[in-house]
Amino acid sequence: MLDQFVFFLRALKDQTGLEHFWWGNLVMIAIGATMIYLAVSKRYEPLLLVGIGFACIISNVPGSDLILPGGLFNYAYQGVALLIIPPLIFFGVGAMTDFGPMIANPKLVILGAAAHLGIFVALIGAKALGFTINEAGAIGIIGGADGPMAIFVTMKLAPHLLPQISVAAYSYMALMPLIQPPVMKLLTSRQERLIVMKQNRQVSRLERIAFPIVIGVLVNLFFPPVAPLITMLMLGNLFKEVLVVDRLAKTAANGLMNVIIIILTVAIGSTMAADTFLTVKTVEIVVLGLVAFLFGTGSGVLGAKLMNLFLKDKINPLLGSAGIASVPIAARVAHLVALQENKENYLIYHAMGPNLAGVFGTAISGGIMLALLGVK
Amino acid sequence: MIIPDSLNGAFALSFIDFFLSIVMISGIGFILALFPLLNKLGKIDEEKLRQGHH
């Protein structure tokens, strides 16, 4: 009788995940819990970190069927793997975004490319550390500070690195208010940070409607590999700007966007299983991501200073740091650093120009990279 | 693959990509600088658009 009872207990234990639990799972559960803590108590990107943290915890409980084929988390991951989710995020972002600052001051658009030197520093660093050229390219794109684009390029170049790259990209985006200001202050004088920008011109409705159509055509013509993302960004923006499909624009920007965020965060978190995540490569990718952000911020500021050598009306070089694509975090950081010097200097509207251009800069860099590496 | 999988390849990829990115985004900037010309085509009545939205 007792033997039978022990046999049943053992059979029951085999049905659970206890048999396969190891210290790595415990570490990843702690990482997931830390993400939720940062989201709740520090308000660091809560929309992203709550879902990622929870899915990370569940994915590290051995025996959980959710991440296995047929499980709900696995279906969410398929949305990312099949490149359905990233373009839909861009669709929602487009419906929320006012591209007026970018249209109004086109000369600042170049900062959207200048701030991407970090991509290439990280790419070369990754290659030097022994990653393949495709893996190095995917790691470099972290420096673009554009989550959906990082996921998109990674899925094309090195899908096995998705968990590390997406976590590094979104974590550093959340930490930009801590990462960027020291670099910005190091590379600018107080006099430069005090520069007040001239007010931008008004952008007409006709220009706002023409913008997504023109950009949509250009991107599909010149950068087909990344066209799905930018095309959807432009479709969302067209819905917003035409003013006649208000309810579609609101759905894209609110309801649909929220659903996509839930699917995306669960998908990313579900890839953070200890056996694939706790490796030296992960540490290297995280460090390279930080290098990319630091160099991107620096090159953007230096690019703005370089422009000032040729411009009659000087621009505030803090705007250069906003050329990193993370919208609107990078623009907000530039604005806040300027405010520290002069409480009347509101840079936010001006900073949105290079910030939005940074989205295109990352897409262009990613598109050229995919083309040069022969990936469609 | 056009670019070789080596450190030299990484340098080449970075240089070409950065240079072309600057050129391409400058092109977008140039096109945006022409946007005010669109206003010569006329003006859109925003109130009318808002009244008729679906």
Mutate to test the interface with B, among A117, A124, A234 (most CBs of B within 10 A): A124
Q: Name chain B contacts of A102, Cβ cutoff 8 Å.
A: 32
Mutate to test the interface with B, among A110, A238, A241 (most CBs of B within 10 A): A110
**CB pairs below 8 Å between A and B: how many?**
143
Inter-residue contact A117 to B18 (CB < 8 Å): yes
Q: Name chain B contacts of A132, Cβ cutoff 8 Å.
A: 5
Distance CA A114, CA A310 (A): 16
pLDDT in tens, chain B (54 residues): 678 999 999 999 999 999 999 999 999 999 999 999 999 998 888 888 777 655
pLDDT of residue B52: 65
In tens, the pLDDT along A290-345 reads 999 999 999 999 999 999 999 998 999 999 999 988 888 899 999 999 999 999 99
Distance CA A13, CA A15 (A): 5
Q: Is A224 on the interface with B (CB under 8 A)?
A: no
Inter-residue contact A365 to A225 (CB < 8 Å): no
pLDDT of residue A14: 73
Nearest to B32 among A109, A365, A372 (CB): A109
Residue with tokens 């479709």: A235
In tens, the pLDDT along A32-78 reads 999 999 899 988 788 888 999 999 999 999 888 888 888 999 999 99
A345 CA to centre of own chain = 28
Mean pLDDT by 10 residues, chain A (376 residues): 81 74 92 93 87 94 87 93 92 94 93 93 96 96 90 93 88 86 96 92 95 96 90 96 94 96 93 90 93 94 95 93 88 94 92 93 92 87
Instruction: Kindly report the nearest CA distance between residue A371 and chain B, in angstroms.
Output: 9
Q: Is A214 on the interface with B (CB under 8 A)?
A: yes
pLDDT of residue A147: 87
Q: What is the mean pLDDT of chain A?
A: 92
Distance CA A7, CA A107 (A): 75
Helix or strand holding residue A113 (H, E)? helix A111-114
A202 CA to centre of own chain = 30
Q: Do B44 and A103 touch (CB under 8 A)?
A: no
ipTM comes to 0.89
pTM of the model: 0.88
- The letter for the amino acid at A281 is K
Interface of A with B in 192-211 (CB under 8 A): 201, 203-207, 209-211
Distance CA A74, CA A313 (A): 54
